[in-house]
Amino acid sequence: MNNSIPLSSVPQLTKENYGKWSIQMKALLGSLEVWEIVEKGYNEVEAEEEEGLAQVQKESLRKSRKKISKPYFGYIKEFNHMKRLGKIACATTAKQAWEFLQNSFKGDEKVKRVRLQTLRGEFESLQKTESESVSDYYSRVLSIVNQLKRNGETMDDIRGVEKILRSLDSRFDYIVVAIEESKDLSTMTIDELTGSLQAHEERLNKKKKEVDLDQALQSKLSLNEKKGDFKN
């Protein structure tokens, strides 16, 4: 019975998926019973030394040779299409190729962790200004969220929704309370929240225009009254 994992289940290696890729590749090579050779390496036995081996040892050696003669080394190369890792072609064994990938991506992981810490700080410090529109603020939030996701951060909608609600300017205090009391935030999407906030913003802007117009009319009336008093 063949219990090997299909090659199609292993994705091509990219800068973003090394962790998942390495787990799936280990599972594949393990199912093919060659992971130990990849992990520990294989040392060829000289002909003279082979002559002195017991039959059981010779049979074990024959099986090992059969395993490494198959294109498992090629699998590691095949799933790597990154140009910057072209040095993998210089590796002469699967162990060397695997170790090269490990060492290379350890550096990448460190850079990613630092980048994630920076982005998390930027996300937490986000704050909507009074002069900023809901649409513009949403774009700023979404930009940081997408960067976090690209760097491996798990970002569900509720995290974004809660962040936006607690970072709005004071003009939105009333609608924030209304949303928190009437909506289930765990099922609300960022787009739905943004739609509600934009509707509230339009009402605020409309009210402001009405107030501004009323003030302009009052100023005009006051000015006319003063002109009338002056003529008298």
Structure confidence at residue 141 as a pLDDT band (50, 70, 90): very high
17, two tokens: 């998926």
Q: Please state, in angstroms and rounded to a whole number, the distance separating the CA atoms of residues 189 and 160.
A: 8
| Angle between the N-to-C axes of helices 190-231 and 134-150, in degrees from 0 to 180, rounded to the nearest 10 | 150
Q: Please state, in angstroms and rounded to a whole number, the distance separating the CA atoms of residues 28 and 74.
A: 13
Q: What is the pLDDT of residues 30-87, one digit of tens each?
A: 887 777 777 776 655 555 565 666 777 767 666 666 655 444 455 555 545 555 456 6
Residues in Cβ contact with 165 at an 8 Å cutoff, skipping those fewer than 6 apart:
176, 179, 180, 185, 193
Q: What is the pLDDT of residues 164-200, one digit of tens each?
A: 999 999 999 999 999 999 999 999 999 999 999 999 9
pLDDT of residue 176: 93
Domain boundaries, the chain: 7-109, 129-231
72, two tokens: 């498992």
Query: Which one has a higher pLDDT value, 4 or 16?
Result: 16
Query: Which one has a higher pLDDT value, 134 or 205?
Result: 134
Query: How far from the centroid of its chain's Cα atoms is residue 10's Cα?
Result: 20
